[in-house]
Amino acid sequence: MADRLVCRDCHRIQDSEEIEACVACGSTSLTEDWAGYVVISHPEESDIAEEMEVTEPGQYALKVR
């Protein structure tokens, strides 16, 4: 997972290093400096998704620097 980028704004993990913007929110603030991740499949039923303000299913980083 070292080659993955994470959006600093929404914490969504991006599958490709060759992208220039977040596929979820469109932000161009991406980083390789992150730790831990959670997979959210049903954000409408998830307490973690509510805490992280996640509305779309996907993989999200827990800590983004």
61 is in an annotated binding site: no
7 is in an annotated binding site: yes
28 is in an annotated binding site: no
12 is in an annotated binding site: no
> Which DSSP string do the residues of 12-58 spell out, in sequence order?
BEES-TT-SS-TTT----EES-EEEEEEES-GGG-HHHHHHT--S-E
Per the annotation, binding residues are 7, 10, 22, 25
- The binding site for Zn(2+) consists of 7, 10, 22, 25
